[in-house]
């Protein structure tokens, strides 16, 4: 993919800019040593800066000269020194975080996990599968995916296996929130959203699908149009009024969000309507070609009996 985000990081103004202070190869080479990784982990385990002696003792290295050599290699990139002692930079913290999350070292394996939910399309049971670094919540009958994306193995590690599907569901919402906000979960680059309504390009049977694409890397994520509006304030408020906690309800139990409820009402310009019903009342959101909500309306059930 071509990077459309700009050339040298400068916008031509007199303001600040992002500059590359070290080549990626050089930065990663600094980490190819057990002592240096030990230094980062030791600093990660404390809230306060550590003196040279405290840090060397924590790492367990007797040779002061060798220890100083490795520590010096990390300075400026992963470690900084203050009047109180040594501490991690943001980059150093993220390196240790990636190690703990198993981003480079761990993987999923094991049998599928039953899910407390049914396929909204065929009624069969759902199950969660976890292979490599991929999570998938899918129907055991029609094999239709409800969730399918990558996840850091370390995010599931603290939880009992039977809870993995619910943890994976929360992770999915977090990833969708990030791309909706315009940030790539992979490289933090800018993300564009586009509504696809051409039947030949659609995922399965949904009339409208939102595709999120990073301008910097090859990341691409798709969601049906209804799923894309789950966290919208109008949706949260409407369902709250009807006793439904959107944040606490798994996606597969929000029937309207995982079913082909989105309806294309115009292809030029693109307009997609998402109807959401609860207790006879109805909320309709209208999305444009970038999956932005441009209109909303509530339709109360005028046929309901008078309670007065």
Segment among 11-15, 111-115, 136-140, 162-166 with least mean pLDDT: 11-15
Mean of all residue pLDDT scores within the chain: 88
**Tens-digit pLDDT profile for residues 267-288:** 899 999 999 999 999 999 999 9
Between CA 125 and CA 293 the distance in angstroms is 33
Model pTM greater than 0.85?
Answer: no
Cα(245)–Cα(256) distance, integer angstroms: 14
List the structure tokens of 272.
């997609």
User: To the nearest whole percent, how much of the chain has pLDDT over 90?
Assistant: 71
Question: What digits encode the pLDDT tens for the residues 204-235?
Answer: 678 899 999 999 998 999 999 999 999 999 99
Q: What pLDDT shows up at residue 232?
A: 96
Domain-by-domain residue ranges, the chain?
A: 24-100, 105-178, 228-299
Q: Residue range 153-182: average pLDDT? A: 94
Distance linking the first and last C-alpha atoms of the chain: 62
Q: What pLDDT was estimated at residue 301? A: 60
Residue 210: closest CA among 176, 169, 252: 176
144 burial (CB, 10 Å; 0-12 / 13-18 / 19+) is middle
Confidence class of residue 290 from pLDDT cuts 50, 70 and 90? very high
CA contacts within 13 A on the Cβ side of 29? 6
- Asked whether residue 297 carries a pLDDT value surpassing 50, the answer given is yes
CA torsion, ordered 130, 136, 139, 144, to nearest 10 deg: -140
The structure tokens 């997609």 sit at 272
Q: Cβ distance 135 to 168 under 8 Å?
A: yes
Tell me the pLDDT band of 121, cut-offs 50, 70 and 90. Answer: confident
Which fold is adopted by the domain 24-100?
Arc Repressor Mutant, subunit A (1.10.10)
Of the candidates 138, 137, 132, the one whose C-alpha atom is nearest the C-alpha of residue 151 is 132
């Amino acid at each position: 993919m071509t990077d459309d985000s700009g050339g040298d990081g400068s916008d031509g103004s007199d303001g600040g800019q992002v500059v590359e202070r070290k080549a990626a190869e050089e930065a990663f080479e600094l980490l190819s040593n057990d002592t240096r990784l030990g230094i980062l982990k030791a600093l990660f385990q404390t809230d306060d800066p550590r003196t040279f002696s405290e840090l060397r003792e924590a790492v367990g290295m007797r040779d002061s000269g060798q220890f100083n050599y490795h520590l010096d290699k990390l300075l400026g990139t992963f470690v900084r020194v203050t009047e109180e002692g040594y501490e991690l930079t943001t980059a150093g913290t993220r390196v240790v975080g990636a190690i703990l999350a198993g981003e480079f070292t761990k993987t999923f394996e094991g049998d599928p996990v039953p899910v407390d939910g049914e396929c909204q399309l065929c009624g069969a049971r759902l199950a969660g599968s976890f292979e490599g670094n991929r999570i998938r919540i899918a129907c055991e009958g029609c094999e239709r995916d409800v969730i399918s994306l990558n996840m850091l193995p370390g995010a599931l590690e603290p939880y009992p296996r039977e809870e993995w599907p619910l943890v994976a569901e929360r992770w999915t919402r977090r990833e969708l929130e990030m791309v909706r906000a315009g940030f790539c979960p992979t490289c933090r680059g800018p993300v564009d959203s586009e509504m696809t309504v051409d039947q030949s390009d659609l995922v399965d049977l949904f009339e409208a699908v939102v595709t999120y694409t990073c301008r910097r890397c090859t990341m691409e994520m798709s969601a049906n149009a209804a799923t894309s509006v789950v966290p919208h304030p109008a949706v949260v408020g409407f369902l709250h009024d009807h006793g439904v906690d959107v944040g606490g309800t798994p996606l597969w139990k929000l029937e309207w969000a995982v079913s082909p409820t989105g309806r294309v009402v115009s292809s030029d310009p693109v307009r997609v309507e998402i109807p959401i019903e609860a207790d006879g009342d109805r909320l309709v959101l209208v999305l444009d070609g970038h999956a932005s909500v441009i209109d909303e309306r509530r339709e109360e059930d005028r046929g309901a009996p008078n309670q007065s």
